[in-house]
Amino acid sequence: MDKIFENKVALVTGGAFGIGKATAILFARKGAKVAVADWIEDSETIDIIKKEGGEAIFIKCDVSKPADVAEMVNKTVKAFGRLDYAVNNAGIEGVNAPVHECTEENWDKTININLKGIWLCMKNEIPVMLKQGKGAIVNIASIAGLVGFPGLPAYVASKHAVVGLTKTAALENAKAGIRVNVVCPGVIKTPMVDRVTGKDKTVEKAYEDMEPVGRMGQPEEVAEAIIWLSSDAASFVTGDAMAVDGGWIAK
Ligand code: NAD
């Protein structure tokens, strides 16, 4: 595999499972040293990277906690000396309930992790990249950041806000050599979607039928888009909200 990220450093939040795990592994396969951050330590991401000859460290971090996020970025720079790529991916689905039944607890938790968490990550990552004069950030929103989803008010609000926040960060840093983009995945077969479907075949089939391509995406397919947006191949792309969604929002 082409080691396009040789001597580069990538930080991936929510790297223990799902899209974050696939992204961390792909960064390592392409030569990057990877900091894998998550609030759950029990994951095989680091083992897989090391077994394949890559370099990675695990950093325990709750992205909604300011001190954790500052420490996460500090530890990455301390371990590897720089920060070239940041993928702010950690997120939760929240509890399913319509706007008038969404609890304050669900609202606050979902917004704090999915939105405040991404702001906190960029708040700490951008100063490091400004000093280097270069960097690329990919935030993870959702198709729920582009269209509405009944029953998911806090999730949809958080993901729409991440799209706007990404565009603002992109404009603020465009002349400083830092590109900021956001990926909006469709339905991807990860532990999050397994929790939503309960692995019920009928429910899974219903989601597959809603995807124009007739199937769910794989985390590796989202990772490929994240890697491309991070790489110099995307040197003229910033402030973009890229759907990786099997055609969902084209409907
Ligand atoms: P997942 O639940 O499978 O993995 C999410 C990871 O984030 C886990 O490792 C989890 O421990 C971690 N995490 C959650 N909250 C955290 C916190 N506060 N601090 C640190 N780590 C935390 O989910 P996924 O499907 O891989 O989703 C990854 C991202 O993609 C999320 O932002 C999600 O909203 C988004 N997304 C997923 C889908 C999908 O269909 N799977 C679709 C659109 C968007």
Task: Give pLDDT tens digits for 160-171.
Answer: 999 999 999 999
Which atom of ligand 1 lies at the shortest distance from residue 63's CA?
Answer: 19
Cα torsion angle, 91, 95, 96, 101, sign: negative
Which atom of ligand 1 lies at the shortest distance from residue 18's CA?
Answer: 26
Residues 122-139: pLDDT tens digits? 999 999 999 999 999 999
Q: What is the mean pLDDT of residues 183-209?
A: 98
For the chain, state the CA radius of gyration: 17
Tokens of 196: 């939503």
| 121 CA to centre of ligand 1 in angstroms | 15
Note whether residue 1 is domain-resident. Answer: no
Task: Say how many domains are in the chain.
Answer: 1
Note whether residue 48 is domain-resident. Answer: yes
Tokens of 66: 């300011």
Note whether residue 149 is domain-resident. Answer: yes
d(CA 32, CA 173): 23
Note whether residue 70 is domain-resident. Answer: yes
Note whether residue 197 is domain-resident. Answer: no
CATH number, domain containing residue 180: 3.40.50.720
Query: Is 80 exceeded by the pLDDT of residue 1?
Result: no
Nearest to 158 by CA among 137, 191, 189, 182: 182
Catalytic residue among 85, 155, 222, 246: 155
Residues 89-121: pLDDT tens digits? 999 999 999 999 999 999 999 999 999 999 999
Note whether residue 135 is domain-resident. Answer: yes
Q: Whole-number mean pLDDT of the chain?
A: 98
Note whether residue 27 is domain-resident. Answer: yes
The residues pairing with 85 across neighbouring beta strands, listed in sequence order, are 10, 136
- Range(s) of the domain holding residue 133: 9-187+219-244
Q: For ligand 1, pick from 190, 197, 204, 207 the residue to mutate: most ligand atoms within 8 Å of CB.
A: 190
Q: Residue 242: in which H helix or E strand, if any?
A: strand 241-244
Note whether residue 199 is domain-resident. Answer: no
CB 50 within 8 A of CB 56: yes
User: Which pLDDT belongs to residue 43?
Assistant: 84
Question: Which protein residues are within 6 Å of ligand 1, measured from CB?
Answer: 13-14, 16-20, 38-40, 61-64, 89-92, 113, 117, 140, 142, 185, 187-188, 190-193
β-sheet with 33-38: strand ranges across: 56-60, 33-38, 9-13, 85-88, 135-140, 178-185, 241-244
